[in-house]
């Protein structure tokens, strides 16, 4: 009897690294790109989350 891990295999370190880098890039954009944006709607979308993590934005 085969287990699920034997059927799908284990992801390689490179696959995991790509996922980590993409998540960090998206998080960095949301944290810095949207919060410091001159567009009011983008700033307000990230404002509360930034302050909850103690990142100043103004």
- Single pTM value for the model: 0.50
Query: How many residues comprise the chain?
Result: 58
The domain ranges of the chain are: 12-52
Chain segment 11-53, per-residue pLDDT in tens? 688 888 999 999 999 988 877 777 677 877 777 776 777 777 7
- pLDDT for the residue 19: 92
Percentages (nearest 5) of helix, strand, coil residues in the chain: 65, 0, 35
Q: How far apart are CA 2 and CA 23, in angstroms?
A: 32
């Amino acid at each position: 009897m085969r287990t699920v891990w034997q059927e799908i295999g284990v992801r390689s370190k490179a696959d995991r690294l790509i996922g980590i880098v993409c998540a960090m890039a998206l998080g960095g954009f949301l944290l810095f790109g949207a919060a410091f944006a001159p567009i009011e709607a983008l700033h307000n979308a990230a404002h509360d989350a930034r302050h909850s993590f103690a990142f100043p934005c103004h």
